[in-house]
Structure 1
């Protein structure tokens, strides 16, 4: 059989029953635009997520809370659609995420920068973002799931490409209800 047929068969929704998955995790988020707001230290946070599993699709969303650092409201709300496959216990997933973030903050420049620079930087850091989320190390053990080293790469929606959003899901523990 051709390799692309095997891939299509693995990714198409199968006879698996739908399930509800809830998980808790620890995450690290870095936001930068390469300018004055250039924070290289990640913001550690907690994440609570829900996913509705239907065959190969995981549809859901969640809430992230990253209290470290400055910001108006250190919370993110997101929705995502992940395409997943099951190879024994290994169940990697990848797909888009769309969210609203309160994490971006503007650090006032010091030392000879124009007065309106903070306002210009703020225009680049809109609250809505889009990202690609990948969970390559996701494993299922009966009703329980463990995921480590998830990666997410994205940008703000108001000016795509003006900012970089990089997130690492350190560990997520979940249960299927």
Structure 2
């Protein structure tokens, strides 16, 4: 019995340093588009939780958009799984994200578009989306993490998969390991 306790005492600190819980806050820009790359954008905030263990980050969070559009709550709730690498202080991460979105970003009609353009566009938005989330400029300094220029690219899954593209740029995300 004593040998098992000694083995646990040796292994547990190493396991604790290899895994951790992270809470983070950040700012982002959100855009959606059909065929055009002239994307309307809305700034927002993000609060996230991640559990990191052995090359994986599993977690989720909530995003809040500053400008409510169309009567829906300007919120998103998501879950994500990312592969990570550890190279000194550099900790890039990439992986899929699945979420529910109340964000409806519709540009004002330009001259030449029909007057019902915003309404027709808004009807193409659904609640469920899937995306790839990449954090190539993510760094860890002791218990603190910082990430800049994160990119999320995906599509809405409802009402018609692939009918609208999602694009989000994470400006800055700052976190702390608990």
TM-score, L = length of structure 1: 0.80
State the 1:161 CA deviation: 1.8
Counterpart position of 1:28: 29
State the 1:108 CA deviation: 8.1
Per-residue CA deviations over 1:83-122 (Å, capped at 9, x if unaligned) read 0010000000000000111111557869784869835x34
Distance in 2, Cα, partners of 1:148 & 1:116: 35
Counterpart position of 1:65: 64
CA change 1:87–1:108 in 2 (3 A) is closer
TM-score, L = length of structure 2: 0.80
State the 1:70 CA deviation: 2.0
Aligned residue pairs total: 161
Distance in 2, Cα, partners of 1:33 & 1:60: 29
Counterpart position of 2:49: 50
- The question of whether the paired residues in 2 share the 8 Å contact of 1:108 and 1:118 is answered with no
- The question of whether the paired residues in 1 share the 8 Å contact of 2:20 and 2:177 is answered with yes
Counterpart position of 1:151: 151
Distance in 1, Cα, partners of 2:115 & 2:38: 20
Counterpart position of 1:132: 132
Counterpart position of 1:3: none
State the 1:125 CA deviation: 1.2
Distance in 2, Cα, partners of 1:112 & 1:149: 33
SS of aligned partner of 1:68: coil
Distance in 2, Cα, partners of 1:117 & 1:135: 32
Distance in 2, Cα, partners of 1:115 & 1:92: 43
SS of aligned partner of 1:90: coil
Q: Which runs of 5+ in 1 are unaligned?
A: 1-13
Distance in 1, Cα, partners of 2:90 & 2:113: 54
CA change 1:113–1:64 in 2 (3 A) is same
CA change 1:70–1:55 in 2 (3 A) is same
Q: Which runs of 5+ in 2 are unaligned?
A: 1-13
Counterpart position of 1:19: 20
